[in-house]
Amino acid sequence: MRRPGGAGTPQGVPDAAARPVLRAVLVGACLLLLLVALLWALQRRLVFLPDRGPVPPAATALPGADDVTLTTSDGLALGAWHLPAEPGRPTVLVTPGNAGSRSARVPLAEALSVHGLGVLLLDYRGYGGNDGAPSEDGLRRDARAARAFLVDEAGVDPDRLVYLGESLGAAVAADLATEHPPAALVLRSPFTSLADVGQVHYPFLPVRALLRDRFDVEAAVRQVDVPLVVVLGTRDGIVPPGQSRAVARAAAGPSRLVEVDGADHNDPVLLSGAELVGAVLQAAGGG
């Protein structure tokens, strides 16, 4: 029976006032789903920011260094620069962050070489003119190829080998250390995991469910019983300093924290400054 005074609204059909609200909700949901799909498909383009162009010969960019080739377990030939150590001095394997190429790490190599340290500047697959596309598994293979070159071809004593990981490269170095422990491990601006830092920058998205690459630094350092130095900038706008401190606390072995007051993530002081170089020197056994 109809109520007097009108036909009424059929059950389950929104009235005219509700329809614009429902339409807006549906449009918003569709846009969110589209954004999630794009992030799933393109996420590695957001994580990895390589300079893909060729780099100059080592001798012109870093006097005393050699152009070397690293052969990965999946058959890639990666270009890298090796600056040999002075007799009796340690060598530093640098696993870089997610951007640029080895050309940008020349000031760091020069600052370390002043103290007689050897340096291997690695470019991952897809970086610095190298073939391939970066991924977590790929970077793991690249780092292992770099260590194999130093130990098996360059004759570096594993007990005189220090890993220096920058930002995302901290995850690569820490993972390498779980399989091949170095004499010491230096991590500059490490995050606890890629999911943790991603959630900070994209709080409105299900980052943990979307990520293909995990890069779990905190889990790795819990397995590594070697001296660890964590270097951070107190005003880091990319990796929250609290995450770097958490990495230091999670270490299975002895750890030390070096905080550079007022420094942001890509400030020169954190790329090749005295505090970073000093941390590597101390980890390597002195100046």
Reported as a single tens digit per residue, the pLDDT across 140-163 is: 999 999 999 999 999 999 999 999
In-domain check, residue 12: no
Asked if the structure places residue 62 within a domain, the reply is: yes
- pLDDT, position 207: 82
When divided into structural domains, the chain yields a total of: 1
d(CA 165, CA 92): 10
Which residue has better confidence, 15 or 187?
A: 187
- Alpha-carbon span 250 to 179, nearest angstrom: 18
Q: Does 77 map to a domain?
A: yes
Kindly state whether residue 28 falls inside one of the protein's structural domains.
Answer: no
At residue 97, the 3 state secondary structure works out as coil
Q: What is the pLDDT of residue 1?
A: 43
Report the DSSP beta bridge partners of residue 259.
232
Query: 207-210 — which CB contacts under 8 Å span 24+ positions?
Result: 210/36, 210/39, 210/40, 210/43
What DSSP string runs through 89-142?
--EEEEE--SEE-GGGGHHHHHHHHTTT-EEEEE--TTSTT--S---HHHHHHH
Instruction: Locate all alpha helices (DSSP H) within 149-228, ordered by sequence.
Output: 168-179, 194-201, 207-210, 217-221
Spatial distance between the Cα atoms of 1 and 47, rounded to a whole number of angstroms: 63
Tokens of 150: 């130093």
Res 45 pLDDT > 90: no
The reply to whether 168 falls in a domain is: yes
Q: What is the reported pTM?
A: 0.87
Write the single-letter amino acid at 87. P
User: Is 221 domain-assigned?
Assistant: yes
User: Is 25 part of any domain?
Assistant: no
Find the domain containing 79 and state its range. 50-284
Tell me, rounded to whole angstroms, the distance of Cα 250 from its chain centroid.
Answer: 18
Contact 69, 77 (CB under 8 A): yes
- ∠ CA 40-42-47 to the nearest 5 degrees? 100
3-class SS of residue 256: strand
pLDDT tens-place string over residues 200-228 = 998 887 888 888 899 999 999 999 999 99
Mean pLDDT of the chain, nearest integer? 91
- Residue 2's pLDDT is what? 47
In a domain, 21, yes or no: no
pLDDT confidence tier of residue 17, bands split at 50, 70 and 90:
low
CATH number at residue 152: 3.40.50.1820
